[in-house]
Amino acid sequence: MRIAFFDAKPYDISSFEKFAEERNIKIKYYETKLNADTAELARGADCVCVFVNDSLDKETVDKLYDDGVKLIALRCAGYNNVDLSACDGKITVVRVPAYSPYSVAEHAMAMLLTSIRRIHKAYIRTKDFNFSLNGLTGFDLHGKTVGVIGTGKIGRCFIDICKGFGMNVLCYDKFPVKDSGLNYVSLDEIWGKSDVISFHCPLTEETYHILDETVVDKLKKGVVIINTSRGALIDAEALLDGIKSRKIGAACLDVYEEESDLFFRDVSGHILEDDVLARLISMPNVILTSHQAFLTDEALEGIAQTTTQNILDYFRTGKCENEVHLQNA
């Protein structure tokens, strides 16, 4: 089995090498992302292993198929970056449906606490021996209402954490979990009643820009928005306008709609072309991490273990329980 591994980072290589050696899988690592221009690097490989910002559009998939690639092994849960129709009947797609949901849920809470207790500001001040507290007033989470959109694995962990803080939790899910004891309400109730809103649903045609300018009008003044799911759930310009108009009190973003050319890279020596992102970053009440929520030892190990097992299962049996089927997408 020859694997072409795209968008490889040092932390990926160290977690994957352990399992690849044990399982006798040969991996060739490429720093570059996979797209139609780089697809030829996979020539001669049986499988490509890809992450969230690799582009598996029709042109790329067709090139991979022509070059004999049989399997796309996603080392993530989401598959919004894969044209499943183009893969249908040609290339099998497998993913990692679960790996430490705690990693993402805890990161969401870390960002929320950092934001509302102004830790990001205090850290910089005390480094400069500025011990003033002016402007650092926050608010208690206890007794506040959090709206959670998507009550799957990560959403449920986040809900448990919020309950631990004594928050009142409102939930919205297209497929509510029966007998869960969760308080499911309409999206409009989430928008209108929440002091904090956190997104944990997948990016689909239905959830694209689920927070847009029409929704901003419905939000409670001062709401804190957390997005650790996928950038395009939020219309970034509408978010920026909501912050400028003081309707949105703060934003904690681990993902951004146009992140694919920026995140996971050091572009500090370049001029940022994206004015919306630059303006968001310049805001004192916006915290941005670059798709980092999954990055814990436990999650990396889980990703490497499941991905290498998916590859073995597929090439040994032709089947894999973590296959992504077009009809289920």
Site of interaction with ligand NAD (CB under 6 A): 77-78, 98, 101, 104, 149-155, 172-175, 200-204, 206-207, 228-230, 254-255, 291, 293-294
- Is position 325 annotated as part of the catalytic site? no
Instruction: State in angstroms the smallest separation of the CB of 321 from ligand NAD.
Output: 15
CA distance 46 to 32: 18
Annotated catalytic residue 259: yes
Task: Output the smallest distance, CB 75 to ligand NAD, in A.
Answer: 11
Smallest distance from ligand NAD to CB 133, Å: 32
Which of these, 56, 113, 118, 110, lies nearest to 88 by C-alpha position?
A: 56
Residue 277 CA to chain centroid, in angstroms? 17
Where would I find the beta strands (DSSP E) of the chain?
2-5, 26-29, 47-50, 71-74, 92-94, 145-149, 168-172, 196-199, 223-227, 248-253, 286-288
Give 207 or 310: the residue with its C-beta nearer to ligand NAD. Answer: 207
CB-wise, 48 or 154, nearer to ligand NAD?
A: 154
Cα atoms found within 13 Å of the Cα of residue 316, Cβ hemisphere only: 11
Task: Name the active-site residue from 230, 270, 301, 325.
Answer: 230
Query: At closest approach, how far in Å is the CB of 328 from ligand NAD?
Result: 11
Q: What gap in Å lies between CA 327 and CA 329, rounded to an integer?
A: 6
Q: Which residue is nearest to ligand NAD (CB)?
A: 152
Q: Which is nearer to ligand NAD, 179 or 206 (CB)?
A: 206
Nearer to ligand NAD, 45 or 171 (CB): 171
Region label for 286, one of left (φ > 0), alpha (ψ between -120 and 50) or beta (otherwise): beta
Minimum CB distance to ligand NAD smaller for 83 or for 118: 83
Alpha carbon distance 303, 294 (integer Å): 10
Among 68, 75, 69, CA closest to 94 = 75
Q: Kindly name the residue from 259, 270, 298, 321 that is annotated as catalytic.
A: 259
| Cβ atoms of residues 86 and 58 within 8 Å | yes
Least Å from the CB of residue 153 to ligand NAD? 4
Q: Which of 125, 291, 298, 323 is catalytic?
A: 291
Count the Cβ atoms, other than its own, within 10 Å of residue 118.
Answer: 18
Can you spell out the DSSP letters for 85-114? HHHTTTSEEE----S-HHHHHHHHHHHHHH
Catalytic residues: 230, 259, 291
